[in-house]
Every structure is written in structure tokens, then in C-alpha cells.
Structure 1
Amino acid sequence: MGDILFLAHRIPYPPNRGDKIRSFNILKRLCVLGTVHVATFADDDEDLAHAEALRGMVGSLHIEKRSVSKPVGAARALLTGKPISLTLFDSQGIRSFVDQAIQSKSIDTVFVFSGQMAQFVPDLGPETRFIMDFGDVDSAKFASYAKSGNPVMRYVHAREARRLAAFEEATAKRADHSLFVTDAEARLFRSATLLDDHKVQSLENGIDCDFFDPVADFPKLSTAIGPLVIFTGQMDYRPNIDAVVSFATEVMPTIHAHHPHVQFAIVGRNPAPEVEALDRFEGVTVTGAVDEIRSWVAAADVVVAPLRIARGIQNKVLEAMAMARPVVASRLAFEGIDAVPQRDLLVADTPAQEAELVVQVLNNVSDADAMGRAARNRMLERYRWDRTLAPLAGLIGRDAAKDEPRTAETVSV
């Protein structure tokens, strides 16, 4: 049994945002299945400081701070005909590490997390497996971006969608298996590429139900002035920005008409200017980064996921459900989650319905508590990581693991 080479576009630690949660849990599982060598990028110095937490887990680690700016990446993309997603993540250092690892280590599996990193995978012999984890169909995300905005950005996003779709298809044809976070994403990709079920599969996200547990030990927030509605997420990510702007401007006025003291808290790091501007609205609070997300989720009377653009599965929804909180999600935010509307959460088709359902939850506390309990039960029975990642061993040709990772096995953030 050989070693595993793992490539990720962002350091998979700490697992405190959607892509890092998935990459960390996959890496942790791979470390049980064999010796793993990791090449990854850091977004900033704070990311670089987390490298030591991974070194004890893996056989070797190459991490470098991503230095290509958006203007430079865009210029290189235009000159080379490549997607900007690739030129932004180009690195000779990563290429050298990958080539050396393949030549000097007994690598029998290359596992790539996120499409940008596939550009570093050289031609592999038949004895080496290539597993490509796309997560979501990124080209479809850019296609949706191209439907709005100014003419320049519509052109940029439409070009990115076309170029990235061609790269995704070429990569999937090279890979032994291409993985997506939901069956819906896998079906979408199969329909676009005509690849079969063996080549294109889903590997779902999970949730750490021991960490996200309403009775776990974490600081409790003091009682809010009025009922608390929250949204959680990385707040410089466009779908999250669009979601909270829409909710604050289109949904909150109706809620306030029924419950004047409701507070809407936007909880997440790096709020974009459009998000920060919402802090001036009555009843809206923009927290920025918080020390403990569970404190906010536990304090919420309602957790909302009013996404207007969404791909894959929403970790924010899984986390809130595991914390036994009532959730009101848009149809797109609910897509890919194996749960029963009305029993486990509420699903809205329009902003007006979101307002109606939030008011319904606030008016019926006992029903909301029962929904929260049902939601947690669903997470416990369906979405624990050991269940969702069970197919991983077979995909890379390993027997089920018998041991635990050497370090960081208890980390969940």
C-alpha cells in the first residue's frame, strides 16, 4: 500500500469555513488510510501560522502564501486563454513539490480538493489513482453570476464559466473518480459531460454532532433585547452577501411589522462593504468574526439561510440543525439536504414566504422547539462524518481504517 498525495487550494485547518470543513475531514480520514503528503496554499499570514497543526498529521507538508493578485491573475488568464480560477492559484513551488513527491515517494493515490489544484497533477501511470473532489460545479456558479451585474462583470463571469467548464470536463476525463458534495451536483456534471455514474459520484458533507451539540460546553450569550434571527457564513462570499442584503431589505421589514423588537445578526468573518452597510439598518447587527459560533447559534430563535445563489450543501444549515435550532431556508439552501420540510426545517420559495415562516416560528415556540429536536435527530442519524465519508476507503482502494490519525483527531471548529 503506497502513500497519498493530497492537494488543496486552501490550508485545511482550522475547519472554520465551508471548504475547510470538508477538506479537513477528508484529510483526517485519509490520514487513517495511509501516509499523506500535502501541498496547499495559505491566504494570509494567519493561515500560515496554522501549518504546525497539520505537520504532526502528515508525512510531509508544503504550504505557501498565495501571492497572485486578482488583476495579475486576470491578465494572465487573458494572455493564456485559461480560467482566472487557475491563474490565481498558479505556483511553481506547488508543481515542484508534486513532481518530487511522485518521483521520490511511493504515491499510489493523488487526491485533489477543488478544481484549481488539478492543474498541478501531471500525467499519471495506470498504477496511480487520481481522485478529483470538485465539491460543487464551479462553472455553473460563474454562469449564474453572469446573469446579473454590470456588462463587464457579466462578460468576465460568462468567460470564466465557459473556460472553467472545459477544464472541469478535461480533468474529470483524466480522473478515476470525480466527486461532488451532493447527488444534484453530480447529476448536473454528468449531464454536462456525459460521463457515467462510476466516473462521477457524490461524497456528501457531514457534521460533527458532538461539537455542534446544544448541551456542549461553550460560552452562552446574554439574553438579547428581543427575538434573535441569525445568519452565519463567510461574509465576503458573494452568495452570502446577496443573501443577507436581500433578507435585511426585503424580509426584515415584514418581520418587524409583526415583531418590532426582532434582531437580525449577521455572524461571520470579513464582512464586505455591502454587508457592513447593513449595520445601519434598524434591528440589524453585523458582528464580523466571533470567537464561538455555537454561542450565536444556540442563542438564536431562528437561523435563516436565505440564499439566492447556492451550490452544493450548506454547512450553515447542517450546523444549525445539529444545534437543534429551527431553520428557515430558501429552496436553493435546502437543496441537497436529506431532511423533511415542516418536520426538520422550514423551506421558503420567496422572500415573502421567508418572512411568513420566520413569524410563524416566533409565534409558536413549542412547535419551533419540536422542530429543532427533530432536526438534531436527523443530523445524528444521517450526517455524521463517519457515515458520509464511509465510501472514501473504497474509492482510493484501501480497506476500512482500523486506527485513528496521529494528531488533531479531536479538532473540530
Structure 2
Amino acid sequence: MSRNRPRALVLTPRFPYPVVGGDRLRIHEICKSLADEYSLTLLSLCETEEEMNGGLVTDALFDKIECVMLPRYRSYLNVMLSIPTRIPLQIAYYQSSVFAKRARVLAEEHDICVAHLIRAGHYIKEMKHIPTILEMTDAISLNYKRVRSVRSLSLKALIYRYEFDRLHKYETDAISQFSLVNFTSAEDARFLCGNEIPSHVKVTPNGVNTIDLNFVNRVNCKNVGVFIGNMNTVQNMDACIHFIEDIMPNLREDDLAEFRVVGRISDSGRAKLCGYERVTVTGEVPSIPEVVADAKFGICSVRLGAGIQNKVLEYMALGLPVVTSRVGYEGLAAREGSDLLVASEPAEFANMVRRLAEDPLLYEALGRNGRAYVEQNHNWEANLAPFVAGVREVRGTNSEQLNVCSDRLQAS
């Protein structure tokens, strides 16, 4: 570990490698942005021996990595024990006394502490001797609130409804307990803070890798709509079922020949989606650009969820004109009708897909403008610069306060 730079301790509730999925990508980019100024130590909970052994690490971003095993059965037991308490299940699932002890010891050796998500934030929220930064990303309770409005009897949906009240209170109360809090979108920040967002709360939108996600002119592609996402989440599965059952019946085969679902999915989820006509499921793939190379447009029919939908940014980077729901549009500064199409109702959503299939001028303009939008507005380094400046500021403020306390003690 370098002694010429200040030291940052990063706590994650899940091992951040491989860098796949929105949460892991975001914390990885945040750590990259901090690595120019700080020597980074990672303290992470792990579920598998492969994670514990560090075999999934693909770079030298962290100078030191420590792992604490938290097997899934232990997490389930934590949840069961928390039911009669006020502790949110999200917090209980990731509780570990061993992890808590290591966090306290390592915090004494570092200059700042960064927690990824509220799940790790509870380990450091009461530390006063060191600046504490919470990379909150989304307001999870906002997602849970939206689940309440959708009729679903799935186990996860029922848990979300049960969990909302205590998680919302926990998240709201937590905001004031950190030196700095970071969100992906203003909608999430306002949901927990109200219209007056405190000065220590930052909003830094996600970026997108426009180098690996190459722009492709798709005017001559067949009418294939793609949906990219982890299908093991409630919000993505709901989005696909919603599109298939409520929107696709309004589309002829000439408008939409195939609805292609790309991303990690369970066997039962695959079987369910493949039971519908005009639906194909790829599962997890090594290269998204290759799998969507022949696609015509990107679909984001999400009704649940919170924060920025990375899939929308990926579609735009790839030159896929986007039709999105209002929830999928949150957190973006893109122009409706020029950079992407935004629908509020199933019939409107279907009409917009039909417009893309029938209007080549609109189609080409959306593909071109969408790519320009992400190039101009979703560069990771540029978007995270205010966050890095905020970390620098709270560290400086904390150092000044500690010096004042030290001077007072010496004077007495």
C-alpha cells in the first residue's frame, strides 16, 4: 500500500468482481475515479470460495483486498431473525459480526471510508473520527413503493411490499449520518430528501462505455426489439412480461418480428418467457454488441426499479433507437422525441414501436441523436468529477476539525 497518498477503505456487500451488472460497474468506476488520489483497500463480503480466493479479480485497482465469508444460509437466517425487529431485511441479509469488526479496525488505518449501498453503509454510519461516504446509487424503497402498485404474487414482490415502510424510514434517516451521500438520479435523492436536497448529497449520473459499445447504423436491420438486463430481478422480469402481454398484442409481426431478451436468467424464467410467441431468450452472453448486431430497436418497458436504467444508455451507445417507459426515462436529460421515445401507456408504447418500424427518417435520427447524447452526457470520468471533488472536500473539512480538537486538547 502506498504511503505517499491518503488511504481509502471501500466496503462492498458483494464481491465487486467480475465487473458485470449495473451495481458492480458503478462502484468499479467510482473506485477508478478515486484511485488517482487514494490508495484503495477493499473489504468485501463474499458468498463463494472463488470470491474469497480472489480468482475473479481482473485488475490492480485495489492495493489490498480483504474478504469475509457470509454464506447464503447465514444471510437467510439473519433475515428470519430480523422479522420481529425494525431492522430492514436488506440490512439484515448482509449482517456479519466478523465484517463489522474488520471494518472498525481498518477504518483506524485509513483517511476516508466509502460504503457501497445502504447494505454496507450501516457498518460505518456511526463512525465520527473519519469521513464516511455512502454510495447509495438508488433509493431502494422507491423501487419497493412501485412494486406495491403492480399486482404480483411472486415471493420477492410480497417481500418488497412488506419491507417498504421500515426500509424507507431507514434510508431517510441514514442520509444525515454520512459526510457525503451519492445518488445516480435526482428523482431518487428527492424521494428520500424532499425537494430541497442537502448540500452533502450529490447526484452523479451513470456513464457508458462508448468504446466497447460501438455505434451501428441499423436502418436495414430486421424488426427485432431487444431487452437487456438481469432477468433474475423483479423489475426486469416484470418489464418483459408487461411488454409481452400488454404491448406486443398491439403489434403486428411486420412491426415487431422478434422480442429478444438478453441477460442472466433462471431456468424457470427462461421457460416462462419462451412459452410466448415471437420471444427468444439468449441468457447471459459474452458480447452484447454481437448478440444485438441485427436488432432494430431497444425496449425499456420497466414499471418498477429506481435510478438510471443502464440498458437505455447501452441501447443509445449501440445506435439502437429507444422506446422507454417513464420510469426508464428517469434521471436522463435526453430529449423526448429527438433522442428517444417515451411512452406512458401500453397503447402509446406500441404506437411508438410501430412508428420506428414505419418511419426511416425518424428511426435514423433517433439512432444518431441517441449516440450523440450519451457521448456528451454520460462519460464516467466527467460525471464522477463532482463526486471526487466532494470526497476531497469532506476529507479536508474533517482534517481541519480533527486539528482543532487536537489543539484544544493540547491547550487544556
Structure-1-length-normalised TM-score: 0.86
Give 1:138 deviation, angstroms. 0.9
Opposite residue 348 of structure 1, the aligned amino acid is A
Tell me, in whole angstroms, the C-alpha distance in 2 between the residues paired with 1:374 and 1:153: 38
1:301 equivalenced with 2:289 (yes/no)? no
Tell me, in whole angstroms, the C-alpha distance in 2 between the residues paired with 1:52 and 1:268: 20
1:164 is matched with which residue: 163, 167, 171?
A: 167
Determine helix, strand or coil for the equivalent of 2:207.
coil
Alignment deviations for residues 174-219 of structure 1 (CA, whole Å, 9 cap, x no partner) = 101211111111122211xx8752132212111111121236xxxx
Residue 198 of structure 1 corresponds to: 199
Structure-2-length-normalised TM-score: 0.86
Opposite residue 33 of structure 1, the aligned amino acid is E
1:368 is matched with which residue: 339, 363, 378?
A: 363
Tell me, in whole angstroms, the C-alpha distance in 1 between the residues paired with 2:67 and 2:58: 10
Give 1:282 deviation, angstroms. 1.5
Residue 325 of structure 1 corresponds to: 320
**Aligned alpha-carbon RMSD (Å):** 2.7
Tell me, in whole angstroms, the C-alpha distance in 2 between the residues paired with 1:269 and 1:328: 22
**CA distance change for structure 1 residues 17 and 155 in 2, over 3 Å: closer, same or farther?**
closer
What are the ranges of 5 or more consecutive residues in structure 1 without an aligned counterpart?
400-413
What are the ranges of 5 or more consecutive residues in structure 2 without an aligned counterpart?
395-412
Tell me, in whole angstroms, the C-alpha distance in 1 between the residues paired with 2:76 and 2:290: 39
Tell me, in whole angstroms, the C-alpha distance in 1 between the residues paired with 2:47 and 2:280: 27
Opposite residue 232 of structure 2, the aligned amino acid is D
1:134 is matched with which residue: 136, 140, 149?
A: 136
Query: Which residues of 2 match residues 169-180 of structure 1 at below 5 A?
Result: 169-180=172-183
Alignment deviations for residues 270-306 of structure 1 (CA, whole Å, 9 cap, x no partner) = 2463453121221110111111111233321011000
Contact 2:180 2:391 in 1 (8 A): no
Give 1:122 deviation, angstroms. 6.1
Contact 1:234 1:271 in 2 (8 A): no
Give 1:47 deviation, angstroms. 4.9
Tell me, in whole angstroms, the C-alpha distance in 2 between the residues paired with 1:29 and 1:176: 18
Tell me, in whole angstroms, the C-alpha distance in 2 between the residues paired with 1:79 and 1:204: 37
Query: Which residues of 2 match residues 14-33 of structure 1 at below 5 A?
Result: 14-33=18-37
1:288 equivalenced with 2:283 (yes/no)? yes
Count the aligned residue pairs.
Answer: 387
Contact 1:132 1:177 in 2 (8 A): yes
Query: Which residues of 2 match residues 9-408 of structure 1 at below 5 A?
Result: 9-44=13-48, 47=51, 51=55, 53=57, 56-69=60-73, 71-103=76-108, 105=109, 107-121=110-124, 123-126=126-129, 128-147=130-149, 148-150=151-153, 156-191=159-194, 196-214=197-215, 226-256=222-252, 258-259=254-255, 262-271=257-266, 273-397=268-392
| Identical positions, percent | 24
Tell me, in whole angstroms, the C-alpha distance in 1 between the residues paired with 2:363 and 2:332: 19
Alignment deviations for residues 5-63 of structure 1 (CA, whole Å, 9 cap, x no partner) = 11122222333211111111111112222111111234545655765526722121123
**CA distance change for structure 1 residues 55 and 254 in 2, over 3 Å: closer, same or farther?**
closer
Give 1:133 deviation, angstroms. 1.4
Determine helix, strand or coil for the equivalent of 1:134.
strand
Tell me, in whole angstroms, the C-alpha distance in 2 between the residues paired with 1:310 and 1:299: 28
Contact 2:144 2:161 in 1 (8 A): yes
Tell me, in whole angstroms, the C-alpha distance in 2 between the residues paired with 1:303 and 1:251: 14
Opposite residue 113 of structure 1, the aligned amino acid is H
Contact 1:33 1:398 in 2 (8 A): no
Give 1:320 deviation, angstroms. 0.8
Tell me, in whole angstroms, the C-alpha distance in 2 between the residues paired with 1:377 and 1:273: 39
**CA distance change for structure 1 residues 151 and 10 in 2, over 3 Å: closer, same or farther?**
closer
Give 1:335 deviation, angstroms. 1.2
Give 1:368 deviation, angstroms. 1.1
Tell me, in whole angstroms, the C-alpha distance in 2 between the residues paired with 1:135 and 1:80: 26
**CA distance change for structure 1 residues 142 and 60 in 2, over 3 Å: closer, same or farther?**
same
Determine helix, strand or coil for the equivalent of 1:266.
strand
Tell me, in whole angstroms, the C-alpha distance in 1 between the residues paired with 2:158 and 2:365: 48
Opposite residue 83 of structure 2, the aligned amino acid is L
Tell me, in whole angstroms, the C-alpha distance in 1 between the residues paired with 2:193 and 2:116: 19
Residue 403 of structure 1 corresponds to: none
Tell me, in whole angstroms, the C-alpha distance in 1 between the residues paired with 2:115 and 2:197: 20
